[in-house]
Amino acid sequence: MAGISSSIVAPPRYRRMPSRPRSEGKRAKIVDAAMRHFAEQGYHAARVGDIALALGIAKGSIFQHFGSKGGLFFEAYKKAVRAFPRYLDAPTEVRETGFFEVLRYWLARTEHLLHEDWIPYRVSLLGNYGTDLTLKREINRFLLAEDPYGTVPFVRCGLQRGELRDDLDQEMMVSILDWTMERFQDALLTEELDPGLFRRHGNVMEKKEARIIQFLAMLKRAIGAEPRR
C-alpha cells in the first residue's frame, strides 16, 4: 500500500471521494465488477488492472474514484453486506412463531441464499477473514454503525416479546448472536473456514439439520427466557 509506511501499524486512508454528479453510475459499475473479481479470485489475487480491463476503462480511473484497492474493496464489501436480508425480513408468519424460529428460518435458508447469489457472501467472507487488520478495523466500524443484519432491533424485539432473558445486557446478547451465527453459517457453508464442526469425524451433510437444531437449542438455553413452570 502507498504512503507513510511504518508507524508501527500503518494507517492508510481510505479516502472518500466527494460523489460527483455524473459518475454515480460508473462508480456502481466499477463496484459490481470489483465484487465479481474479488469473489472469484480473492482479495489479493484480484487485480485492479483486470477489473479495469473487464470494464474497458483505464486503471487510473478506478484509483481516481476509490483511492486504493482497499478503498475499492471496502465499497464492494459494504454493497455485499447491505444486499443480505435482515433478521426481521423473515416472512410475517415465521416472525410470529418466535425469535428462535426466525433464526431457524434463516439458518435453513443460508445455503439456498448462497447458491442463489454467492458473490456477496464470498465478498463478505473476504472482509471478515481475508484482507488485513487495517481494513478489518474499518469494516468493524461499519458493521457497528450500520448493523446491517438488523441484529439490534431483532434482539430488542425478542426482548419485548419476553423470549429473551431480561437479566443480560442487550449488547452482550447482540454480540453473542452475531459471533455465533456468523461462525455457524461459515461452518455450514465454506470449506476454508470450517473449523471442524462438519469434518472432525467425516460426517458432512447428513447431520446438518441435526446440528442446526442442537445449535438453536443451545442458543435458546444461553439467551432465551426461562420457560414458565
- The candidate with the shortest Cα–Cα distance to 15, out of 81, 75, 83, is 75
Exactly one of 4, 11, 40, 47 binds DNA (CB under 7 A); that residue is 47
Structural contact between residues 119 and 36, judged by C-beta atoms closer than 8 angstroms: yes
Decide: is 143 part of the binding site for DNA (CB under 7 A). Answer: no
Exactly one of 32, 89, 163, 194 binds its own copies (CB under 8 A); that residue is 194
* Main-chain phi, psi angles of 164, to 5 degrees: -115, 150
* Residue closer to its own copies (CB basis): 25 or 144: 144
What is the distance between the alpha carbons of residues 36 and 41, in angstroms, rounded to a whole number?
8
Question: Of 66-74, 95-103, 139-147, 164-172, which part binds DNA (CB under 7 A)?
Answer: 66-74
Decide: is 41 part of the binding site for DNA (CB under 7 A). Answer: no
Q: Which does 179 bind (CB under 5 to 8 A by kind): DNA, its own copies, none?
A: its own copies
Decide: is 26 part of the binding site for DNA (CB under 7 A). Answer: yes
Question: Of 51-59, 96-104, 154-162, 178-186, which part binds its own copies (CB under 8 A)?
Answer: 178-186
- In sequence order, the 6+-apart residues with CB closer than 8 A to the CB of 134 are 9, 10, 11, 12, 70
Decide: is 134 part of the binding site for DNA (CB under 7 A). Answer: no
CA 129-90-206 angle, 5° bins: 60
Decide: is 61 part of the binding site for DNA (CB under 7 A). Answer: yes
What is the distance between the alpha carbons of residues 41 and 208, in angstroms, rounded to a whole number?
28
Decide: is 133 part of the binding site for DNA (CB under 7 A). Answer: no
Q: Is 32 exposed, middle or buried (0-12, 13-18, 19+ CB in 10 A)?
A: middle
CB of 217 to its own copies, least distance (A): 8
User: What is the DSSP secondary-structure string of 167-199?
Assistant: SS-HHHHHHHHHHHHHHHHHHHH-SSS--STTT
Exactly one of 32, 42, 57, 148 binds DNA (CB under 7 A); that residue is 57
Site residues (CB under 8 A) for its own copies? 1, 5-6, 8-10, 40-45, 125-126, 128-134, 136-137, 140, 143-144, 168-169, 171-172, 174-176, 178-180, 183-184, 187, 191-197, 199-201, 211, 214-215, 218-219, 221-223
